[in-house]
Each structure stands twice: as C-alpha cells, then as structure tokens.
Amino acid sequence: MIRHELRMPHPTQAARFVVWDLTEARYRIETAAGAVVSSGVGPRVATGIEGMGGPGIDVFARETPRGAGRVRTGTRPTARSAFLPVAFSQAGQDWVAVQRLFWSCLSPDRESAWRVYAPDGSWRELLVFLDENATVYAHDPTQIRQVVGVALTADNPFWLGPEQLAVMAVQPSVEPFFGTSNAAPPFYIVPGAQDGSTGLTVAGDVEAWPTLTILGPASAFSTQPLFVESAVSAEIPVSGSEQLVIDFDPTAQAAMLRAKGATSGGTNVTAQLTGRAFFPIAPTFEPDVQVVLLTLAGAGEARLTYRPKYWRAI
C-alpha cells in the first residue's frame, strides 16, 4: 500500500514538527529527534492526487530557416504544482482544533515535505509550500468528510530520497613506538594525516551535488573522485569545536566555518579554498559504486553527504 505523509514545522513550537499521516488519518507532534509528544485523529487523503509524476520541462533549442526542425541545446525542469485532496471526519470542536492546526502548519513561506512511502517502506519526498494562489475552501468545510483541496508548489521539482552518507574519514590508527615489549615506555605514533577511499552506492535519476563537512580538529583536506586529477582542497585550521561546511552545488559553491552543530551563519572562507574542482554524484540506472578519495590532516572527521534526486514519487 502506498502511504502519504505531510511533515511540517510546528507553527508555534520551535524544533518540533507535525506529521500528518494522510493514509491512516492520524497526526503526531514530534521533536527534532523523532520523539512523539502527542498524537490524534487527522484528515485522510482522497482521490485526485496530482504531482507524483515528473515535472514540467523547458526545452531550449535553436532554429534556422535553412534547416528543418530544430537543434536541442538543453533542457530545464521547472517548478511544479501539486494537489492533495483531503477529508476531515471530525465534528464540533474537534473539527475546529484539527482544522486550525492543519492550516496553520501550511505556509507560502515555510517549507514542508510531502513524503510518499512505497510498500517496501522506502520513501521519497517533495519539498512544498502552500501555493500562493491557493484558496483554502472551495465548498462548505463544515460538512463532515467534505473533500478539501490543498494546492502546493514545489520550487525544487525533484523528489528527494533519504540523505546518503557518502564518505566518513577513518580515525587514525595508533601504533606503539617501541613495539610490544612490556618494558617499553608508553609512547605511540599517531599519523598526522589520514588517507582513505570509500565506495559509495549511487542513487537517483539525475546528478546530485554533495556537501562536505569537516569536523575538527583538522588543518587541511582534499577530496576527489577516483581517476580524477583535480580536487576540492584547502589548508584551513578547524578547531575541535568547529566544523567546515562546503556546499558543492553550482548555485552556492561556498565554504562556511561554523560552530559544531550549527546549520547556518559562520564565517565565509571560500576564498581560502586552494582546489575548487566541485564534483557531482553521477546518476545511475543500475546499482553502481563511485569511489571517492579523501585526505585529511588532523584527528577530525570528514563527511560527504547528498540527497538523491528522482523524477517521480515512486
């Protein structure tokens, strides 16, 4: 059975989310860690869903009066519209409370996630906003089980899979300096740099641009795909309380030095990158492995993460 969920930031409670299970007609309020705070009866999805297929495509081409047809020069997926018809089965004050919570979660300014689960439990989600031209009620909403249309807009037209951890640096091994004799002083050699590679399973229908996070302490790093000479690299001191976050996406391609755990702000250190050969995670249509090389100076950790992109929900 296909299941539908809407996952929304709570309108008034920071770091909490409201998850609407539209298949089971239930909702729950969760913390950021996934702990359930409360739950109740919610709306159920009705027939007439739109938006689970592929997005619209802009085609760029050139034409000449001396040639037949056209020459395609490129394509671009466009922002997509989605539509979720839902029905509320509550009555009286329960109906009022659930209606108020549901609509207060949806916003043209706050991003929500429409998540679709396949029968095997795997899922993909579309990041959506309340459509700026949406009308909340087309019919009398006080009628029990009246179907209400929820019009949504997805600025990012792709369905996204769960975040993949592509690379994790191996902690340095510790070797005794004087061998294994019990009489030897407790001196050890710890490598100042870690060299490694990892094979990552590539997922998705189109290329995805990863994010590299260096958790300190570290002083330098370098990463690149196997058999590629150019790399993303830098010599930037990262203390034990800091993280260096590098976004490979062509719309960003920036390096931010932040406190560990921070998701925004920090100091822009993009100018200190010595290698800027940003690379995507290439798409594949069969199980495949892409090998990524990593060098890290220091005892910290490096993580390369990305979200697979899909044309469709299933």
Quick: pLDDT tens for 190-246.
344 566 666 666 788 998 999 999 998 999 998 888 778 889 999 999 999 999 999
Structure tokens at 29: 């309020």
pLDDT above 70 coverage of the chain, percent: 84
Q: Return the minimum-mean-pLDDT range out of 22-26, 73-77, 191-195.
A: 191-195
Q: Is 119 left (phi over 0), alpha (psi -120 to 50) or beta?
A: alpha
The position carrying tokens 């997005």 is 55
The mean pLDDT of the chain is: 86
The tens digit of pLDDT for each residue in 288-301 reads 667 788 888 888 88
CA geometry: angle at 195 spanning 191 and 196, to 5°?
Answer: 135
Of 80-94, 154-168, 188-202, the range with the lowest mean pLDDT is 188-202
CA atoms within 13 A on the CB side of 309: 16
Q: What is the dihedral of CA 52, 53, 55, 57, to 10 degrees?
A: -170
Residues 154 and 313: their CA atoms lie apart, in Å, by 13
pLDDT at 141 > cutoff 80: no
Average pLDDT over residues 140-168: 84
Confidence of residue 185 (pLDDT cuts 50, 70, 90): very low
The pLDDT of residue 176: 46
Place of tokens 């330098």: 220
Amino acid at site 256: M
In the prediction, which pLDDT does 80 show? 94
Please give the share of the chain, as a percent, with pLDDT higher than 90.
58
- Write down all domains in the chain, each with its CATH number in brackets: 3-52+79-157 (no CATH), 164-310 (2.60.120.860)
Encoded tokens for 196: 């490694």
Please tell me the predicted confidence (pLDDT) of residue 259: 96
Helix (H, G, I), strand (E, B) or coil at 100: helix
Q: What is the pLDDT of residues 29-66, one digit of tens each?
A: 999 888 999 999 999 999 999 999 999 999 999 998 88
pLDDT tier for residue 178 given thresholds of 50, 70 and 90:
very low
Q: How confident is the model at residue 282 (pLDDT cuts 50, 70, 90)?
A: confident
Q: How many CA atoms lie within 13 A of 227 on its CB side?
A: 2
| Secondary structure, 3-state, 168-207 | ECCCCCCEECCCCCCCCCCCEECCCEEEEEEEEECCCCEC
CA dihedral sign of residues 121, 127, 130, 132? negative
The pTM of the full predicted model, rounded to 2 decimals, is 0.84
